[in-house]
Amino acid sequence: MMGSSMELPTASTLFFRVIAVSALGTGALGVLLPLVPTTPFLLIALWATARGAPEWHDRLLAHPRYGATLRAWQHHGAIPARARIVAVLVMTASWLALWVAGTATWLLLALALMFFALAVFIVTRPGMPSQ
């Protein structure tokens, strides 16, 4: 369109928007599929929208179901107690399933170290702040 005042987004903006849309799509799958996590992908989308789509970022923070959790993470680095418990249990169950399946020892050790470090990080996050 000639004479349009609409500016084209920069390559950086497009990059972050693609990440955000991809993360939101994968997070949406997590709502439907039990083994696909939702929250980590929403956190990635939150990060990407802050850099490439502030209006989308505001919509994520205002979401009726996930907004409070996203705001708590953004402002306090907080993870709800239930989410921390579920995350550690899922990592433990995943590792045990791989062990029972006969996964190579080197991979089990690498995963044990990674899961342990991740579990320590998750467990040491604060809980949800009082409303």
Predicted confidence at residue 126, as pLDDT, reads 94
- pTM for the whole thing? 0.76
| pLDDT per position as a tens digit, 70-95 | 999 999 999 999 989 988 998 999 99
Nearest one of 58, 44, 121 to 88, comparing CA atoms: 121
Task: Tell me what percent of the residues of the chain surpass a pLDDT of 90.
Answer: 72
Show the tokens assigned to 2: 């000639």
Which residues, in sequence order, are CB contacts of 40 under 8 Å at separation 6+? Answer: 27
Question: Which has the higher per-residue pLDDT, 131 or 100?
Answer: 100
Predicted confidence at residue 117, as pLDDT, reads 97
